[in-house]
Chains A and B, each alone.
Chain A
Amino acid sequence: MEQSSNNRTSLAVAILLLIMAIAVLVTAYDFRGGSGIFPRFIGWIFVGLTFTECLIQLKVVLSPSASSAFNESTLVKNKIIKEFQGVFWIVFFLILLYLTGFLIGIPLYIFSFLRLSAKRTYKQSIIMSVTATILVYVLFIQLLQYRLFQGILFGA
């Protein structure tokens, strides 16, 4: 059942890639002068390859062995939920960084992640987030003299 789900998503990925290949090829025809020669050449190869991949995946999906009823197992659902959670934490960190910069964003992110996702104690979460921030501060700001991004809320 998990295999059936994988086959369908692999076909969806192949179709998506084919659409992307067509889009970049069409765009390459708008480039002036010599700028489009190489992208057009590679673009046609890209379309051909993704089309072949689509055919292969379609054949796999349509084959009798893969036509069993599509019913996602709990295992697959849990994996997908975990994947969305993983993406959520990265997006959350990016938003924090953009708003508050590195020196505030890093401790907030690490603390939230450890408390809410890893279910660590307050003590562990605070120690980890403060240690990581001090490390970044000492290494990048004090020793290497970098000006780290301060976030749009603090004048960046």
Chain B
Amino acid sequence: MFESLLTAFSYLLSDGINFIYLALGVVVGVLFGIIPGLGGATAIALLLPLTFGMAPEQAIILMGGVMGAVSAGGAVTAILLNTPGTAPNAATCFDGYPLTKQGKAGLAIGAAASASAIGGAFGLIILVMVLPVAKTVVLWFGPPAFFMLALLGLTSLTVSSGNMLRGLIAACIGLFIGFVGYDEIGGTERYTGGSDYLWDGLSIVPVLIGLFAIAEMLVLFVKGGSITEAGSQSSIRFTDTLQGIKATLKNIKIVMSGSVIGTLIGAVPGIGGVVASFMSYSFASQITKDDNNFGKGDIRGVIAPESANNAKDGGGLIPTLAFGVPGTAEMALFLGVLILHGLNPGPMLLIEREYTIFVLILTMLGATILSTAFICMAAYYLVRIAYIDSSILIPSVISVSLVGAYAVHNTIGDVFAAAFFGLLGYLMIRYDYPRITLVIALVLCSLMERNYTQSMIMFEGNWTGFFSDNTALVLFLCSIFALCIPLLQALIKKRKNPGGTIE
């Protein structure tokens, strides 16, 4: 293994063009991450033709650069404009944007970039360690465990949203939005109203663009001024970004928990980075006892999802390389690049071309570090967006957001959907219904339903079967515990202050 690692390292250093490919991949990755509606899959698809004449390792360097950088880029717009650059960055909005409003955008960007780098490196180290035993780990998660994992994500996030009843109502709305479209299992159209556009269900990107970017622009329109009223452009300092890096190092436990969650969820095909970052966010919110300000501008709410978001790439490569099973669209495209260059993913690839795998791992490691440095340096200029007058910012953001919504599937229906969810998002802000739980429910809906149905078939309709699966049982108990946390907190408060009443 060390021999392959050294061979890969010397290959990377052997030719200056390798570094140029890596830098190109990083720049494209960061830019595609920043622009809402694009993301890693689009970047890989667009760069794919460029790799035709390249050696397999060089193509891997270019694509590895993109994959290692795209998540970090997506955090920038999530923090500055409440618009997730890529879907997995949505959880970063919840605390990143409030920090921007407080004039702490530099801090948030520094924290996000450094958490991304550590998370990315962690995921890749785990990849190296886990590849030989990957099959066993992935097989722990059958349909009942998947269902319970999704349930845990939903319940813990609802609890941490602050208003449990409204959080649960928002989760139900999210699930019903997720039901829209043709159901392959039952062969029925659900809640489409006969619309062809809704046949495939609602795409997540226009929904996110609407709920976050457009809704926030409406809030800004009503409020007036600029995103942040705290400080001024002259008060922006490069040291703000360094403070963010320090905050990440100070909260290393959150980074590590996020990295573990990201790697584990990334390794499970079909779940994706969105679930990883939301799970990490809700887990961090649950374990944070001191000054829990999640949702209102807590730096830990930026660190947790970003570390998971980048760590999931390392995890996602486990099934992609070991079994040829891609976990996400990005990985599916990357698989296509490998096949195009004559590399067939699977156990034989690990045996025959081990050094090629290490080229990829080292490239992605380099990409996470390069993208972090790039973003930290650019943050000094990027945070000025928060001080732009709303009358300039609103039409620009709405225009680019709607183009981004259209660009995903080239359908005008997505533009109308983004606008609709913009209005819904505004109403949710106005009447204090958490948007977080709606989004996580929408993301988890198909996973929950598919695994619920599969489990019920496995258990022949007997729901108690869920408790016969050890992994599912542990996850179910965790969900119950998450729901009991507010009650436990109230009881502890009551014990400390016997005269008070339980809320």
Chain B residues closer than 8 Å to A9, beta-carbon distance: 431
Q: Are A38 and B449 in contact (CB under 8 A)?
A: yes
Report how far A92 CA is from B403 CA in the complex, Å.
16
Report how far A149 CA is from B46 CA in the complex, Å.
20
Report how far A27 CA is from B391 CA in the complex, Å.
43
Q: Given the known A-B contacts A27-B191, A136-B400, are A35 and B185 also in contact in the complex, defined by CB atoms under 8 Å?
A: yes
User: A112: nearest residue on chain B (CB-CB)?
Assistant: B395
User: B224: nearest residue on chain A (CB-CB)?
Assistant: A82
Interface residues on B, range: 35 or more
Task: Type the 1/0 row for A136-150, where 1 means its CB is closer than 8 Å to any CB of B.
Answer: 100110001111110
Q: Are A49 and B399 in contact (CB under 8 A)?
A: no
CB distance from B368 to the nearest CB of A (A): 24
Q: Which of B268-302 contact A (CB under 8 A)?
A: none
Report how far A33 CA is from B190 CA in the complex, Å.
12
Q: Are A35 and B187 in contact (CB under 8 A)?
A: yes
Q: Given the known A-B contacts A86-B218, A94-B415, A94-B416, are A110 and B403 also in contact in the complex, defined by CB atoms under 8 Å?
A: no
Q: Which of A34, A128, A144, A156 contacts B185 (CB 8 A)?
A: A34
B179 at interface by CB-CB < 8 Å: yes
Task: Type the 1/0 row for A3-47, where 1 means its CB is closer than 8 Å to any CB of B.
Answer: 000000110010001000100100110011111111100110110
Task: Type the 1/0 row for B181-194, where 1 means its CB is closer than 8 Å to any CB of A.
Answer: 00101111011000
B341 at interface by CB-CB < 8 Å: no
User: A25: nearest residue on chain B (CB-CB)?
Assistant: B176
B166 at interface by CB-CB < 8 Å: yes
Task: Type the 1/0 row for A113-156, where 1 means its CB is closer than 8 Å to any CB of B.
Answer: 11001101000000010001001100110001111110000001
Q: Which of B165, B394, B415 contacts A52 (CB 8 A)?
A: B165
User: A90: nearest residue on chain B (CB-CB)?
Assistant: B419
Report how far A45 CA is from B165 CA in the complex, Å.
11
User: A21: nearest residue on chain B (CB-CB)?
Assistant: B172
Q: Which of B392, B396, B410, B422 contacts A90 (CB 8 A)?
A: B422
Chain A residues closer than 8 Å to B402, beta-carbon distance: 93, 97
Q: Given the known A-B contacts A52-B165, A86-B221, A87-B423, are A136 and B403 also in contact in the complex, defined by CB atoms under 8 Å?
A: yes
Interchain pairs with CB closer than 8 A, number: 142
A106 at interface by CB-CB < 8 Å: yes
Report how far A102 CA is from B403 CA in the complex, Å.
8
Q: Which of A38, A102, A139, A140 contacts B452 (CB 8 A)?
A: A38
Report how far A17 CA is from B438 CA in the complex, Å.
14
Q: Identify whether the interface residues of A are mostly helix, strand, loop, or mixed.
A: helix
A1 at interface by CB-CB < 8 Å: no
Q: Are B186 and A94 in contact (CB under 8 A)?
A: no
Chain A residues closer than 8 Å to B419, beta-carbon distance: 90-91, 94
Task: Type the 1/0 row for B437-477, where 1 means its CB is closer than 8 Å to any CB of A.
Answer: 00000000000110011001000000000000000000000
Q: Are A83 and B218 in contact (CB under 8 A)?
A: yes
Interface residues on A, range: 35 or more
Q: Are B407 and A32 in contact (CB under 8 A)?
A: no
Task: Type the 1/0 row for B169-209, where 1 means its CB is closer than 8 Å to any CB of A.
Answer: 10011011001000101111011000000000000000000
Report how far A149 CA is from B187 CA in the complex, Å.
32
B157 at interface by CB-CB < 8 Å: no
Report how far A9 CA is from B431 CA in the complex, Å.
9
Q: Are A114 and B222 in contact (CB under 8 A)?
A: no
Chain B residues closer than 8 Å to A132, beta-carbon distance: 395-396, 399-400
Task: Type the 1/0 row for B379-392, where 1 means its CB is closer than 8 Å to any CB of A.
Answer: 00000000000011
CB distance from A1 to the nearest CB of B (A): 18
Q: Are B169 and A49 in contact (CB under 8 A)?
A: yes
CB distance from A14 to the nearest CB of B (A): 9
User: A133: nearest residue on chain B (CB-CB)?
Assistant: B399
Q: Which of B173, B221, B391, B456 contacts A85 (CB 8 A)?
A: B221
B412 at interface by CB-CB < 8 Å: yes
Chain A residues closer than 8 Å to B35, beta-carbon distance: 139
Chain A residues closer than 8 Å to B186, beta-carbon distance: 31-36
Chain B residues closer than 8 Å to A156, beta-carbon distance: 412
Q: Are B176 and A147 in contact (CB under 8 A)?
A: no
B214 at interface by CB-CB < 8 Å: yes
CB distance from A105 to the nearest CB of B (A): 9
Report how far A28 CA is from B396 CA in the complex, Å.
41
Given pairs A21-B172, A24-B176, 14 additional interface contacts (CB within 8 A)? A32-B188, A37-B456, A52-B165, A85-B221, A89-B221, A90-B218, A90-B398, A91-B419, A93-B402, A110-B395, A113-B394, A113-B395, A144-B46, A149-B412
Q: 23 A-B pairs, CB-CB below 8 angstroms?
A: A21-B172, A31-B190, A32-B186, A34-B185, A35-B185, A35-B190, A37-B453, A46-B176, A50-B169, A56-B165, A86-B218, A86-B222, A89-B221, A102-B403, A114-B391, A114-B395, A132-B399, A144-B38, A145-B46, A148-B403, A148-B406, A149-B410, A149-B412
Residues on A facing B (Cβ under 8 Å): 9-10, 13, 17, 21, 24, 27-28, 31-39, 42-43, 45-46, 49-50, 52-53, 56, 79, 82-83, 85-87, 89-91, 93-94, 97-98, 102, 106, 109-110, 113-114, 117-118, 120, 128, 132, 135-136, 139-140, 144-149, 156
Chain A to chain B: the 8 pairs with minimum beta-carbon distance, closest first: A35-B186, A118-B391, A35-B188, A46-B172, A33-B186, A86-B221, A35-B183, A110-B395
